[in-house]
Amino acid sequence: MNSSYAELHCHSNYSFQEGASSVEDLLFRAKDLGYRALALTDHDNLCGAMHFAQVARTLEIQTITGAEITLDDGSHLTLLAETQQGYSNLCNIISYSYISGGRKNPAFDIKHLSEMAQGLILLTGCRQGQIPSLVTEGRHREAEDLLRQYLDWFGTANVFVELQHNLVQGDTPRIRRLVDLANRYGVSPVATNNVHYHIPERHRLQDALVAISHNQSLEETHRQRRPNRHFHLKSPEEMAELFLECPQAVKNTLRIADRCGFDITRDMGYRFPDYPVPEGFTPQSFLEHLCLQAAKRRYGSITDRVQNRLDEELRLINRHNLSGFFLIYYEIIQMAREIMIELGLSDVEIPLEERPPGRGRGSSVSMLVGYLIGLSHIDPLKYNLSLERFLSDDMGSVPDIDLDFPRNIREELIKRVHEKWGWDHAALSGMISTYKMKGAIRDLGKALGLPKQDVDKLAKRVDAHSARELKLEMQELPEFRDKTDAPVWRDLIDLADQLDGFPKYLAQHPGGMIISSSPLTDMVPVQQSAIDGRYICHWDKDSIDQAGFVKIDFLALGALSQMQECLQLIEERDGHYIDLSRIDFDDQAVYGMMHQADTIGIFQVESAAQMQTVPRIRPINLTDMAYEVGAVRPGVGVNDGVTQFIQRRTQGIPWDYDHPLEQRALERTLGIILFQDQVNHVARDVAGFTPLEADQLRRAFGRKHNQSLIAFYWEKFRQGASERGVPGDVAEKIFKKFNGQYMFPESHAFAFGATAYHMAWLKYYHPLEFFVAIFNQQPMGFYNTETLKEDAKRHGITVINPDINLSMEKCTIVSGGRPTFHPPFVREEFERYTDGERGEPNSPPFVKGGWGDFRPVKPSPRPSASPLPEGEGVGGEGSDALLLGFLYVKGVGAAAASSIVQTRDSGGPFSNLGDAMERTGLQREALENLVAAGAFDSLTPDRRNALWEVGLRYRPHGYQQALPLPVEQDMAELPKQTEWEIMMDEYRTMRLHPKGHLMTMLRPYLGQDVLSSQDLLGRADGEVVTVAGMVIRRQRPLSKAVFLTLEDEFGHIPIVVWPQAFKKHRMDIKEPVLIIRGQVSRREGTMNIIAQHIRGTQGLPHMPKARSWQ
């Protein structure tokens, strides 16, 4: 392209709170203006560099990787990477800026510049650069000295005097002086425009961002804001006009662009990490050795089947040079195992594969090698998992392996990986936090000086996620409806639309780590994370993937913590540890439970949407489980894919491909795109995309403000498809199936399906341990503990209020009324109050008001695979229960909870309230809440009296200690608490009411016509009914309907609120308890109520909170 200017100083919105245009906006504008090259020089980071280069490559624009760095005196300098060495130096310069200046104030010490100058081109910087400021201040001698120094360090050919004319006061005289200076030293001048946005109109957003970054309003930031709208991408003609006095400066931009041949998408020079192996081994032979050893342990001997599979996998690993890659995983798993042993969760004697510390998702699931080195939990031979989809001869990229760990193991593991490899060789992936609706309203509202209370109110009221919908949302809200065209509010709407999806700051990815044998800081800047001792790299997972780095994801998965705790509890109670990799994956009893939508608390299949699809998809094996968890994803739902998949699968509805070329990609999922890999696959088969192009296409759909990019890909897709004989309308139909919503990769679905099955198995065979574990791992999953408690009750489990003399910090199992593994003293004390072995509590004060009234526990069904040892101190099965821990009580923190337990351990049980107060020294709030939660019921049965007593005895900290003096004389006659008051107190202090349900108490006040979830069972499709319940879920997915789940004393009632009803009742829906009239809708074994009228019940504070999702 014949262009006479290249922009070499350009900020995207990755210059957080500075740049006001996305890289797509900038590149498409550059293309329109006829640029052939564009640099990206964000402030002190390369966060957008890979993203920028990838998009530019699609548009065939040359990119120059650079940055505007901040020196330790606060001045700026522009650096561009000419070569790979220069790029490495740039990464190091940025990394050291953070290491020396701190996470929030990167600053580079100029004296180190000389060591890192090679391969870089230096431009002397913007108005805030050292040389330009010295020149402006008339300090010419100092400016000359500094220029000489730069020349010394970089060489004359690599230093350019940067000239910027943004029509700012002082630009003309400064440029004249800078040109003089350049001429005197034989240095070339270069023009740049210090671009902060792609078009002039964006200057408003840029102004607002500056105000936001100073946490002030536009009015207050007059000095900090840029004075005009001239910081946009200008046409070559405009630039020539501005630099009429120095045309050479414009020409030099192309000279520099020509020199900067380094292409980040091509020339990174990244190598897979090496792995040091023992003497006499190669990485390949060592991996083989490890696998054979494990196979012998696992299978007893190496059968032909095992050997053949192993040979095939090792051949492919060798072919793709992946042995070092797998060995690094092996090492990490070993580290995690050591952590498990230290935490007492495993033993040196137990082989790794028997108690793996984490589990892989992704390729490892289908690989025997993964199973043998401890990456995976599933025996691929037993379940006939095919290798081909994950590791094959023509594989385009490294296999995708993520490792999930229980939370505690992951925390420690990250620390140890940092320790072992060092921050410059191992860093966490970055994650770019972005603007969404609420953040945009608050930040822009403040910048625009709108009244704070209005802004707060609006931010609270809006439901949509995307700030682009602000105007629509405001039109729906009565108090904001007439503001949509009002001055300033109008600006809020415009700017929110532009700001939506903008990067806000660099954060830490929940688990990804990159490890490298050569310094990482040669390839990507690394900086401290907000958490002490952790380091993050400047790229998010997309950029890391695109760079081809080996990324290891250590994710903390609440479900695994739950599973780990559950398995431990089973071991403690039953005496043996269950090896989940050996359970039966075809156990129809477990699937049967799921078919009944009995999935609360089960990873991946517990959401209301899953509850509706599980009974329809009716999984009966692991593959079905993968389809089940994969199907209920926004990206599948968007095109009605779930419904179509179910119809084709279960009802045999005939279907056909839109074009036969789809067959290879979509055959197994009945023509529906269920997994994200299938998008790539379809693009390759239908339109001849290369694997890389297909991947970029899929990612393009996920980007914000991507209209031009999608249009570009559509054209490419249409052409490619047409060359393969696909008619335009069919190509369009196929292309429309792609979308930017989230879908699982197939391998994730498989791994998660297996984990979901494991959890279901545990729930079915060990419900008590299952619920204790999930109670202890809160917050996690979809439901609040009140709902979990109700579900536990339905599984025959009694939940007991905390007890000052029995509870531990966390929830525990009480067997026959006593804890199964409590310190000896409790047991002794307990014996004194009980009738001996069966452990039935027989007298006050220990159990007054306690659990005598509870329904007996239904014996849990047991797996034949793991018969339970009888007796052995385990109480009668009939009375096992979940005893709430002290941590469940609001205001009792970890320190207070463990001090209660320790005091009791050392001095014996508490004899009365005064004794407990004296010995524990608990704060008043904690004491009162413990009373309200029923923890003192066994000592002082009347909670109101107990509260009175706390008041009499309590002395604030620093006063004399409470003495166990008699207080009887001061006790008053107080009315007994009603059941309602007790319940509300328990909701307030624990967010759950163990004994009953709110709806039991409300029921008598509701009309006769209000049906319960049980009554609904007999109601036919189309009947109009009224129901009531506590809202436990509000969800508003992309389809715009709102989904609610009501809970009553018998179960759940799913509600669908279509837009019209929603419009009428959008405020009522926010009430904690709702009475809804609507129509019964039944299909394929599921039932919903289609809401027609919704009203709340007023005046119920402290209700358990519904979990709300978008």
Partner 1 sequence: MVQNPREAASSSPIRSLNLPALIQVEEDAHQRPLAISLRRRRLGVASVDDLWEIDEEWWRESPIVRRYYQVTTEDGRPMTIFRDLVSGEWYRQGG
Where do contacts with partner 1 occur on this chain (CB under 8 A)? Answer: 167-173, 203-204, 207, 218, 222, 227-230, 448-449, 487-488, 491
Inter-residue contact 861 to 764 (CB < 8 Å): yes
Q: Which is nearer to partner 1, 203 or 795 (CB)?
A: 203
Instruction: Report the residue number, 447 or 590, with the smaller CB distance to partner 1.
Output: 447
Contacts with 371 (C-beta within 8 Å, 6 or more apart), sequence order: 298, 353, 364, 377, 378, 379, 380, 581
The β-bridge relationship of strands 1042-1047 and 1052-1057 is antiparallel
The CA distance from 778 to 798, in Å, is: 18
Which residue number, 218 or 378, has a Cβ lying nearer to partner 1?
Answer: 218
Minimum CB distance to partner 1 smaller for 202 or for 681: 202
- In the complex with partner 1, the residue whose CB is nearer, 241 or 723, is 241
Degrees to nearest 5, angle at CA 603 with 602 and 604: 115
Residue 132 burial (CB count, 10 A): 27
Written as six digits, the tokens of 369 are 């090698």
Give the shortest CB-518-to-partner 1 separation in angstroms. Answer: 48
Q: Give the up-direction half-sphere exposure of residue 427: CA atoms within 13 A in the CB hemisphere.
A: 30
**Which phi and psi (to 5°) does residue 913 adopt?**
-60, -45
Does residue 361 contact residue 442 with C-beta atoms inside 8 Å? no
Q: Which is nearer to partner 1, 219 or 419 (CB)?
A: 219
Nearer to partner 1, 461 or 471 (CB): 471
Based on CB atoms, which residue is closest to partner 1, 208 or 889? Answer: 208
The Cα-based distances of 551 to 335, 377, 524, 975 in angstroms read: 17, 20, 13, 64
933's tokens = 């939660």
Nearest to partner 1 of 191, 600 (CB atom): 191
> What are the tokens at 140?
């010419």
Instruction: For the CB of residue 226, give the shortest distance to partner 1 in the complex, in Å.
Output: 9
Q: What is the distance between the alpha carbons of residues 346 and 357, in angstroms, rounded to a whole number?
A: 9
Helix residue spans in 795-942 (DSSP H): 824-833, 894-907, 913-920, 924-932
User: Phi and psi of 188, rounded to 5°?
Assistant: -80, 140
Q: Give least dist CB 464 to partner 1, A.
A: 24
**CB of 232 vs partner 1, minimal distance in Å:** 12
Residue number with CB closer to partner 1 (238 or 915)? 238
Which residues pair with residue 1086 across a beta bridge?
Answer: 1083
CB of 513 to partner 1, least distance (A): 45
- What minimum distance in Å lies between the beta carbon of 172 and partner 1? 4
In the complex with partner 1, the residue whose CB is nearer, 176 or 438, is 176
Give the nearest distance from C-beta 227 to partner 1 in angstroms: 5
d(CA 210, CA 16): 10
CA distance 314 to 298: 18
**DSSP secondary structure of 333-363:** HHHHHHHHHHTTSS-TTS-GGGS-SSEEEEG
Q: What are the distances in angstroms from CA 322 to CA 265, 287, 429?
A: 21, 10, 21
Give the list of residues 6+ apart from residue 38 with CB closer than 8 angstroms, or none.
Answer: 6, 7, 10, 26, 27, 30, 56, 61, 62, 63, 64
Query: Residue 8 CB, nearest distance to partner 1 (Å)?
Result: 23
In a 10 Å sphere around its CB, with 0-12 CB exposed, 13-18 middle and 19+ buried, how is residue 487 labelled? exposed
Q: How far is the CB of 535 from partner 1 (least distance, A)?
A: 41
Of residues 226 and 1003, the one with the C-beta less far from partner 1: 226
Query: What DSSP element (H or E) covers 42?
Result: strand 37-43
CA dihedral 451, 456, 458, 463 (to 10 degrees): 160
Q: Which is nearer to partner 1, 228 or 842 (CB)?
A: 228
For the CB of residue 29, give the shortest distance to partner 1 in the complex, in Å. Answer: 19
Minimum distance, C-beta of residue 488 to partner 1, in the bound complex (Å): 6
Task: Please choose, from the candidates 1063, 1071, 1069, the residue with its C-alpha nearest in 3D space to the C-alpha of residue 476.
Answer: 1063
User: Which amino acid does the sequence have at 416?
Assistant: R
Q: By C-beta, is 172 or 588 nearer to partner 1? A: 172
Report CA torsion sign: 1058, 1062, 1064, 1069. positive
Residue type, 951: G
Nearest approach, Cβ of 491 to partner 1 (angstroms)? Answer: 5
Give the DSSP letter of residue 607. S
| Nearest residue (CB) to partner 1, 231 versus 757 | 231
Q: How far is the CB of 441 from partner 1 (least distance, A)?
A: 16
Nearest distance in Å: CB 472, partner 1: 22
Residue 228: CB minimum distance to partner 1, A: 4
Closer CB to partner 1, residue 167 or residue 1067? 167
Do the Cβ atoms of 175 and 246 come closer than 8 Å? yes
Provide the minimum distance between the beta carbon of 18 and partner 1 in the complex, in angstroms, as a whole number: 17
Using alpha carbons, select from 946, 947, 944, 997 the residue that is nearest to residue 1103. Answer: 997
